[in-house]
Amino acid sequence: MVTTTRTLGVEGARLLTGLSEAGKKVFTVEEARKTVDMSDRRLRQLLYRLEKRGWIQRLERGKYIILPLAAGLEGTYTVHEFLIASRLVSPYAIAFGTALRYYGYSDRSSRTVYVATTRRKRALTLHGLTYRFVTMTQSRFFGITQVYLEGERIHITEREKTIVDCLTHPSYAGGIIEAAKGLWFGSEEMDLERLVEYAERNRSKAAMQRLGFWLERLGMGDEDLLERVRSGCGRNYVRLEIPGPDVGSRDGRWHVIVNIAPDTLLEWREH
């Protein structure tokens, strides 16, 4: 098999050195333009050569990853998926099932990275991972914190907001059971008052009903807290699992259609 020699050249070395000194593992054409003094055409030719020689890899139009020497001739290295996600859309927050896994509340494997944003953006597949962008209204885009990863700040939904989001859209969590696991396994690290506050602020009666259902099933929260949740619930029945059939036993207190097998509700707690 023929491989391309990873020669760098003076201009390429100047560009990559400047970007690296600025802490850029993922960069845009505009950031490259600020690093080296050359015409737009010449810069794009340089980026094309660097990509062909395995020094950088294109993420999407105008965005690249720097491939270090460890990538070898085949350029198989990639930076952490959260760093990539942080450069694909703004504003953003790592969210839903991806945040659950980050916090250690879910062991469900997934090749999808969920990213919450207020903008519309199509899903993008890179290095075998699909980046799915979930558009939220501005009023629901809150409860975001920062964590440090490879020296960079990454935006991710707080533990409590992650649970609320997963109860609002269970399919993005990997299913309602994964949302329940997150609630249970994170119980010692989460503030239940804040959890309920975020659920109220989220303004989803369905999510509030699912929250009440699971808090009661898991024996979490006192009666005052449960009544506070109940006051924010709707009167119409909602499905526990989304997507899922509109059939199953009905929980009269929380107005939830339990559309999954009863023996699977808490089975995971036995392992």
The tens digit of pLDDT for each residue in 136-154 reads 999 999 999 999 987 789 9
Q: Is residue 2 part of a domain?
A: no
Domain that holds residue 135: 81-270
CA distances from 222 to 96, 198, 200, 212, 218 (A): 26, 18, 17, 11, 12
39 and 85 belong to one structural domain: no
Among the candidates 71, 93, 109, a domain finishes at 71
Total domain count, the chain: 2
| pLDDT of res. 26 | 85
pLDDT tens per residue across span 232-263: 999 999 999 999 899 999 999 999 999 999 88
* Averaged pLDDT score across all residues of the chain: 89
Q: If pLDDT is split at 50, 70 and 90, which confidence band does 74 have?
A: very low
CATH number at residue 50: 1.10.10.10
Q: Is residue 248 part of a domain?
A: yes
pLDDT tens per residue across span 43-70: 888 888 888 887 888 888 888 888 765 4
| pLDDT of res. 101 | 93
Q: Is residue 3 part of a domain?
A: no
164 and 195 belong to one structural domain: yes
201 and 262 belong to one structural domain: yes
Is this structure's pTM higher than 0.85? no
210 and 159 belong to one structural domain: yes
Beta bridge partners of 116: 93, 134
Q: Which two tokens stand for residue 130?
A: 């699909």
Query: Per residue in 176-186, is it b (16+ CB within 10 Å) or e — as a string?
Result: bbbbbbbbbbb
- DSSP per residue, 24-87: -SEEEHHHHHHHS---HHHHHHHHHHHHHTTSEEEEETTEEEE--GGGTTTT-----HHHHHHH
64 and 95 belong to one structural domain: no
44 and 164 belong to one structural domain: no
Percent of the chain beyond pLDDT 70?
A: 93
| pLDDT of res. 51 | 85
Q: On the CB side of 160, how many CA atoms lie within 13 Å of its CA? A: 17
Q: Is residue 76 part of a domain?
A: no
54 and 102 belong to one structural domain: no
Q: If pLDDT is split at 50, 70 and 90, which confidence band does 184 have?
A: very high
